[in-house]
Structure 1
């Protein structure tokens, strides 16, 4: 019975690591814009991977994660994507006579008070103005208007964020029926956001990052952020994670970075890619999202030599789970 429990624990820990993998959002093919049947939305092909990880490689990777501080993962080539903004693929629609429409959102998920921003490029026809419509998924009109060309074939859209925007939206642009493109996006009312960082602290082997949050909805929050070294260009050091039960109002949390992910010498720290996710209060309810940072936040300088340099000691459960993973892979 005990090996089964250990296996379930190992799988649970692996699922936690998987949960924070970067979200892959596929571009949405045009709808409602009546392009010719042969016109198919084109999206950039996924880059070819140099090598596909073997099952043994995956086991070694997960074993290393089990034996590392779960709250403080060093940035590697495998998780570097989590330190960068998600890539947004353009919606490209080829039409007859060499006409091509391209709709490019600045991001897939917006958060109030962010404006919804996008660019439109039209090749193969000369247009002075085009129309846009923002609708809910049940086709209720939210906003509409015209865009004037800035240069040959280039249009820019910027819509002021509103507190009553539906969570899921469709943005369509067209010059006439059958000539245009459409993309889907999300617009969230933030459930929490960063008010200010507090002074860095040393606690045994960990650098502690106290953060003051403004919480709109109480509940269980999953928090992830990137700790970086402030330089040009900035260097991501670690992906920090934690779970906190928070009440509404001004709340404090403490993220931690183990000394093993820090530079040897004094450095200037910064925080970026802060993700605040409110767990659904019940099955079927929606996840709540916090307001993202608009830019990295300076945290001040810190001397890692002030920390205890004792190597991280995983608990017995993590060690047993790692051993079981190795046994199952044989």
Structure 2
């Protein structure tokens, strides 16, 4: 009888411990606490397929149905995809929540030094194209008794020193004209340090462009689309994705994307704007933020990037009345994907 009571007591103790663990949980699974005085560095890379945020002005874009696009706070995948299916994938209305920033946006790295001083380092953009100069902005307390700063370029991961120079200690925007070695990787780190123990670093890419857009020609109407011919020079044959923003009187109205196989050499490609994204009245149109990417041909081969020698180009005056088009009809594959996202 006494033995039975002992067993009962042990079972009650074990049950109580289990309930306590269930409600409190083990501490090792808690998120780490970051103190306010410690600023983590931000080395997150932007998406390679996104485009710069361009602020809208007073141009008149094509009117959209009230439910054509999700509100910024909506994150339902089915709702967003249904909104995108109102337009062809190669010609989507531009909305900043759907098309975040890319290599032209850079979040400054902030570091508290051992002496308590706050340093900040930001590059002009994340991806530079050779032979562009490296442009960065450095900030630190101006009352520090510094005479010189050392600039270094390192390879990411292996920390191999590739280039270094010394400059007068100063805050603000600075320029460093690098001369890349043939064996340089494209993913690099800029490190700025002083002789007094201060140090700060920021990641970036310095890319050998695989292709360059050399010319943007006047647009013409072809069926339901406005076609924009491009001239390119490519160093490699492959499948390329070309992107650009369509603007009307200074306001971004559409994001254009084209995927095309291009051979090596001087080639031609076309961006298309569907009539549904054009302004309702005839307006002067331009394309900007042109960029391209050679898609990865195999899992172990990374994508490569190209640039544009044309920052912005006028393509003529057009409006919806110049193009004969019907509302876009999603393909069977697109409708099937939407049903899947809706759980149907």
Work out whether the TM-score is over 0.5: yes
Report if the CA contact (8 A) 1:226-1:271 is conserved. yes
Matching of residue 92 in structure 1 with residue 110 in structure 2: yes
Matching of residue 219 in structure 1 with residue 238 in structure 2: yes
Structure 1: how far apart are the matches of 2:39 and 2:327? Answer: 55
TM-score (norm 1): 0.76
Structure 1: how far apart are the matches of 2:116 and 2:309? Answer: 41
Matching of residue 297 in structure 1 with residue 313 in structure 2: yes
Change in 2 beyond 3 A, CA 1:85/1:288: closer
Structure 1, gaps ≥5 residues long? 1-37, 45-49
* Residue aligned with 1:317, SS: helix
Structure 2: how far apart are the matches of 1:195 and 1:293? Answer: 5
Report if the CA contact (8 A) 2:215-2:310 is conserved. no
Q: 2:290 aligns with which of 274, 278, 282?
A: 274
The 10-residue stretch of structure 1 (109-118 or 72-81) with the greater mean CA deviation from structure 2: 72-81
How far apart are 1:98 and its partner, in Å? 3.7
Give aligned pairs, total: 278
Matching of residue 136 in structure 1 with residue 155 in structure 2: yes
* Residue aligned with 1:120, SS: strand
Report if the CA contact (8 A) 2:104-2:124 is conserved. no
Structure 1 equivalent of residue 146 of structure 2: 127
Q: 1:263 aligns with which of 279, 282, 306?
A: 279
TM-score (norm 2): 0.73
Matching of residue 249 in structure 1 with residue 262 in structure 2: no
* Residue aligned with 1:208, SS: strand
Matching of residue 240 in structure 1 with residue 256 in structure 2: yes
Report if the CA contact (8 A) 2:221-2:322 is conserved. yes
Report if the CA contact (8 A) 2:38-2:112 is conserved. yes
Report if the CA contact (8 A) 2:135-2:173 is conserved. no
Q: 1:145 aligns with which of 157, 160, 165?
A: 165
Larger Rg computed on CA atoms = 2
* Residue aligned with 2:226, SS: strand
